[in-house]
Amino acid sequence: MMKLILPLLVFALVVIACNSNEKNNPTAQKDKKVVLHTDTLNVVKLSDTLVIYESTCRGCAFEGSTSFSIDDSLGIVALDKIETIDNNPPDMAGGSVSKNLIIVPKKTGTTKFKLYKFYKEQHTAQDSANAVSYSIEVKN
């Protein structure tokens, strides 16, 4: 009985070990998105796509004028694009609109950058209070 169970167990382990999807799927490694957090040092690779999830009110005066800016004095990261996603039904009043900020690393190094969220087209001194800091280390 033991002679039958041992080969079956070894065969099952070999099948499971050889069935890794991430190693064999090149797009899984290429399209890696990393969500940035404010409370820690974010360690990423130069090939990663960085994401910060934000939102703005739906149907309010600031929906169309909400914008974002990154202040990175070392030029290690840059804001590439902003994806706007509205998952609410068209006949719904209120709610929120998702803003996915896509950030790309430009070079390796360690930096601390600020993300500014502006509610109006004319930026005022009050807008600087809406800044959030992120610490990031970009590796090759």
* Residue 66 within a domain: yes
Question: What domain count does the chain have?
Answer: 1
> Is residue 131 in some structural domain?
yes
Residue 2 lies in a domain: no
- The answer to whether residue 56 is domain-embedded is yes
Region of poorest pLDDT, from 16-20, 115-119, 127-131: 16-20
90, part of any domain: yes
139: Cα separation from own chain's centroid: 17
User: Is residue 23 assigned to a domain?
Assistant: no
- Residue 17 in any domain: the answer is no
What residues contact 59, with CB distance under 8 A and at least 6 apart? Answer: 93, 94, 95
Query: In terms of residue numbers, what domain contains 72?
Result: 31-139
Predicted structure pTM score: 0.72
pLDDT tens per residue, range 44-98: 999 999 999 999 999 888 888 889 999 999 999 999 999 999 998 888 888 899 9
CATH number assigned to the domain comprising residue 131: 2.60.40.2020
Biggest CA-to-CA distance, the chain: 79
